[in-house]
Amino acid sequence: MGNNNYPFKLIPLPYAYDALEPFIDKQTMQLHHDKHLQTYVSNLNEALNNYPQFHHWTLEQLIYYSNQLPKTIRRAVINNGGGIYNHNLFFAGLQNGGQMNSASAPNLIKAINSRFGSFDAFKDEFKKHATSVFGSGYTWLVAEKCGNIQIVNTKNQDTVIPYNLFPIILIDIWEHAYYLKYHNIRSDYVDNFLKILNPTQAESNFNKILT
Ligand code: MN
């Protein structure tokens, strides 16, 4: 996910548009990936078009070192670069039928049990955060380099990159992520999101801090 630079391309969904039914509907996935994410990709490329000195920078570098970008494009890069980074992580983190447990995600479940007491207690806490975001943003399970894990919220298309936090699980709580199916009932969307976590992806994200 991180080896990319200008011109950025739309990464295909790693499954069919209807693969997450009935938890996330096909039309939402089509719009979310083909329209919303495509717009972030197009807008980031447009912002960088006239700045060849940044064409070899990765998405993570553009976000982490955004204070080195000209002011004229800084906000566009943060918003649209963040949009790409967040959505690629979000889509990769979902799997219909994924069973998160100590067999599928041993290191992560151990850390979750140690921090929250149990996986169910983690889900309760995650849901509290996700339902409390005011406006658009994300709720994340993140790790510090030392291995401590915590739940945090971010606004808009902000990422956790500037805080030196490593993403493990994230939920998109912009209304475009759920409104067609769930309307204003965000809590049902969060409950169903937690049923379709991709354990292999989450474990792999967590293990990156151990290497
Ligand atoms: Mn989104």
* Average pLDDT, consecutive stretches of 10 residues, N- to C-terminus, the chain (211 residues): 80 97 98 98 98 97 97 98 98 96 97 98 98 96 95 98 97 96 96 98 94 73
CA 103 to centroid of ligand 1, rounded, Å: 30
Ligand 1 is an ion; residues with CB less than 5 A from it: 172, 174, 177
CA 91 to centroid of ligand 1, rounded, Å: 9
Tokens 């949009």 locate to 83
Distance of CA 117 to the CA centre of its chain: 24
86: closest CA among 28, 49, 138?
138
